[in-house]
């Protein structure tokens, strides 16, 4: 039908709060990355991205070489320039 707009709803997820042992594992992975930052390891990061328009968001995964750990902004920076804030990270693989 011409002239009619179609409305679609985007489903959003809530960010999962990590258990203490999962936080400890993530902290161990971060320590490894800090020690090996000079090698610019290839990482796969699963993180939560908030929806800018409503409550919730979605989990996303990116892969790339780690360029820097920005302590001031509390984020990981990939060589592509993409930045992921530490508080949004769900998992890191290397």
Task: Tell how far CA 5 is from the center of its chain.
Answer: 34
Residue labelled with tokens 């960010």: 15
88 in any annotated domain: yes
Q: How many residues does the chain have?
A: 94
* pLDDT at position 64 over 60: yes
CATH number at residue 85: 2.30.30
| pLDDT value at residue 51 | 86
1 in any annotated domain: no
Burial class (CB in 10 A: 0-12, 13-18, 19+), 76: buried
34 in any annotated domain: yes
Q: Provide the domain limits for residue 51.
A: 20-93
51 in any annotated domain: yes
User: Is residue 94 within 8 Å of residue 41, measured between CB atoms?
Assistant: yes
84 in any annotated domain: yes
Mean pLDDT over residues 59-75, rounded? 97
Question: Collapsing DSSP states into helix, strand and coil, what is residue 9?
Answer: coil
User: Is residue 13 within 8 Å of residue 59, measured between CB atoms?
Assistant: yes
pLDDT band with cut points at 50, 70 and 90 for residue 75: very high
């Amino acid at each position: 039908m011409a002239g009619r707009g179609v409305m679609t709803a985007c489903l959003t997820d809530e960010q999962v709060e990590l258990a203490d042992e999962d936080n400890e594992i993530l902290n161990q992975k971060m320590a490894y990355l800090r020690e090996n930052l000079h090698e610019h390891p290839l990482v796969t990061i699963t993180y939560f991205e908030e929806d800018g328009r409503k409550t919730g968001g979605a989990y996303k995964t990116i892969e790339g070489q780690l360029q820097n750990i920005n302590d001031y902004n509390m984020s990981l920076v990939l060589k592509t320039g993409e930045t992921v804030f530490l508080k949004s990270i769900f998992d890191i693989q290397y």
